[in-house]
Amino acid sequence: MNETALTVQQTARPTGFPTAGHFRFVESALPAPAPGELLVENLYWSVDPYHREMMDGAFALNAPLEGRTIGRVLESRAPGIAAGELVFHRAGWRTHSAVAAEQVRVLPQFEGVPLSAHLGILGGTGLTAYVGLTRIARLKEGQDVFVSAAAGGVGTATGRLARLLGARRLVGSAGSADKVKYLTEEVGYDAAFDYHDGPAAALLSEVAPDGIDLFVDNVGGEQLGAAVGALRQYGRIVRIGTIGQYNKPTLTPVPLDLSQIVEKSLRMEGFLVSDYRSVQDELYAFAVPHLRSGRIRSDETVVDGFGRIVEAFLGMMRGENTGKIIVRG
Ligand SMILES: NC(=O)c1ccc[n+]([C@@H]2O[C@H](COP(=O)([O-])OP(=O)(O)OC[C@H]3O[C@@H](n4cnc5c(N)ncnc54)[C@H](OP(=O)(O)O)[C@@H]3O)[C@@H](O)[C@H]2O)c1
């Protein structure tokens, strides 16, 4: 066992795109679990777009950060959870965490399914996609779906789950030709475009000439405006995230034709996955058999080494990931 722990701290507030200089690694003795707590050696870390939002204020400076993490219990001072158990918790961005037993979830083991999937398609990422499709969009068989940031964690999970839920034409946008190819050849999208290649409305009408019923939006901005134009009568917009603006110091106006919201009776609804944790078991029941049969998989970019966690986070915001970005210790 390592005798020391490493923790990442944020040292300054960024304006615009953050750099490695906004973080530091701090070495300390292993944390000692208090009664009711567990000492967890962390194995996999999630770095997420919402961490960028937290860097503007919710993350305290020069203090441990939070993040979704999978680890193994090294020492338990809590009844009901034994050393050796694999657990999920949120005291991430550090190699070792002392966490209260109520704040961990012992992970179910699904034979044939990699542990990292609990941060990907079976974790908050997949749950976001599943809730977006089933609770917010209320996807019906035969509907046509457009997904922005389609090659990321939420976007790939949305594509795979939408297909299983009966979507008809599935189109997506992403930031490179390689990602476009990945979407159509690996994930099951019918067509996709690189949003750098021209005005979003024109690119969307090429891949969805007959329009769309649902827009699952991870980005906002120009693509949201384009989707409003492409949506059919009674269409729905599921607002999942706004990665297009997290690194911009000022908000840019969205080119949105508001009259179309009325004329086409459109509905736009946002949500936070944290309000839908009760749907977790339903996601397992739905997705695990398909993961086991190989019909779907958890799309992941794995970065090896806790020492590269900041690099992985910054790279994710630059679009270097395909599928969910995960750091492996
Ligand atoms: N509502 C919720 O509870 C909830 C939960 C989880 C995630 N989210 C949101 O869902 C979205 C996706 O999250 P994720 O974890 O799956 O991340 P992700 O999509 O795996 O990674 C972020 C991706 O965003 C794209 N991107 C970066 N800057 C962009 C820009 N200016 N315009 C368009 N695309 C850009 C990059 O891909 P490209 O190469 O394609 O540019 C990058 O790979 C985020 O907006 C996040 O905040 C919301």
Asked if residue 241 has its Cβ within 6 Å of ligand 1, the reply is yes
What does the pLDDT read at residue 1?
52
- Give the global pTM: 0.98
Q: Which of 17, 50, 55, 154 to mutate to test the pocket of ligand 1 (most atoms within 8 A of CB)?
A: 154
Cβ of residue 322 lying under 6 Å from some atom of ligand 1: no
| 8 A C-beta contact, residue 32 and residue 71 | no
Mean predicted lDDT score pLDDT of the chain:
97
- Structural domain total, the chain: 2
Per-residue pLDDT for 325 more than 80?
Answer: yes
Q: Which of 57-71, 177-191, 205-219, 245-259 has the lowest mean pLDDT?
A: 245-259
pLDDT band at 253; cut points 50, 70, 90 = confident
86 lines ligand 1 (CB under 6 A): no
pLDDT of 249 reads 87
Angle at 284 between CA 268 and CA 94, to 5 degrees: 85
55 — alpha (psi -120 to 50), left (phi > 0) or beta? alpha
The CATH code of the domain that includes 103 is 3.90.180.10
C-alpha of residue 243 to centroid of ligand 1, in Å = 5
CA nearest neighbour of 309 among 36, 68, 54: 68
- Judge whether 33 lies within some domain: yes
Residue 127 CA to ligand 1 centre (angstroms): 15
Domain span at residue 8 reads 4-120+298-328
Residues 232 and 266 in one domain: yes
For ligand 1, atom 30, the nearest C-alpha belongs to 244
Question: What pLDDT, on the 0 to 100 scale, is given for residue 170?
Answer: 98
Query: Does ligand 1 come within 6 angstroms of the Cβ of 316?
Result: yes
pLDDT computed for residue 118 by the predictor: 98
The pLDDT assigned to 219 comes to 98
261-280 tens-digit pLDDT: 999 999 999 999 999 999 99
- pLDDT, tens digit (0-9, with 9 covering 90-100), for 224-248: 999 999 999 999 999 999 999 999 9
Q: Are residues 105 and 130 in the same domain?
A: no
The response to whether residue 207 sits with its C-beta less than 6 Å from ligand 1 reads no
